[in-house]
Chain A
Amino acid sequence: QQKVQQSPESLIVPEGGMASLNCTFSDRNSQYFWWYRQHSGEGPKALMSIFSNGDKKEGRFTAHLNKASLYVSLHIKDSQPSDSALYFCAGNTDKVVFGTGTRLQVSP
């Protein structure tokens, strides 16, 4: 069964700073990956998907994928207080498996 480990568990960054979130997968058959964000009291919302090795940038968010290393990361540039949330990575083999989550707090 796919295991998805995220680090760190929690992270505090100053407003305007860079937040870096990491994710490792156990199943080499994983091909498709996502980052989801969940604000308190809401359901998770997909931030971005990444299916090819390398970097993918969308605004302040950059995802990086290395399938050989089973590693995905998310970098948030110029972090804002509204970025404070729980972040999940997710990968798909025969079904989607979500990571353990990283709680990000952006301090004003």
Chain B
Amino acid sequence: ETAVFQTPNYHVTQVGNEVSFNCKQTLGHDTMYWYKQDSKKLLKIMFSYNNKQLIVNETVPRRFSPQSSDKAHLNLRIKSVEPEDSAVYLCASSRDWGAQDTQYFGPGTRLLVL
């Protein structure tokens, strides 16, 4: 049962273009995340938002920027994509920012940069 929705499923683009990915959760959670999963399947956190406030901003290139309109939505924009940005981008949510809160993931957006 999907409760974290991501669009698009798949996106192919050229180097230098701008892309935007959308994420919506219907769980009523306060915290949302963006992860990057590379070709080796490693999961690396990029950003965390709690109640529309940025609380974690890992060392990612400046061309990545998260956008949150409300606590149910967290989008990701990439300005001027690079080949190394090819990956699966996973959105997740958790009830709160508490240490004990399980994360619920969406199906991911696969990005291919040519």
Contacts and interface: CB of A to CB of B under 8 A. Distances in A.
Interface of A: 31-32, 34, 38, 41-46, 49, 51, 86, 88, 90, 92-93, 95-98, 100-101
B108 A101 contact: no
Given A31-B99, A32-B100, A49-B102, A44 B90 contact: yes
A79 B92 CA distance: 28
14 contacts: A34-B102, A41-B107, A42-B108, A43-B105, A43-B107, A45-B105, A49-B102, A51-B100, A92-B99, A93-B99, A95-B56, A98-B42, A98-B43, A101-B41
B17 interface: no
B42 A101 contact: yes
B81 interface: no
Contacts of B45: 95-97
Interface in B90-114: 90, 92, 99-100, 102-108
Contacts of A90: 103
A29 B75 CA distance: 31
Given A41-B107, A95-B48, A95-B56, A46 B102 contact: yes
Contacts of A95: 45, 48, 56
Contacts of A86: 41
Most buried by B among A31, A38, A51, A97: A38
Contact of B103 (A42, A46, A100): A46
Interface in B54-97: 56, 90, 92
Nearest 3 A-B pairs (CB), nearest first?
A43-B105, A98-B43, A92-B99
Nearest to A42: B107
Contacts of A32: 99-100
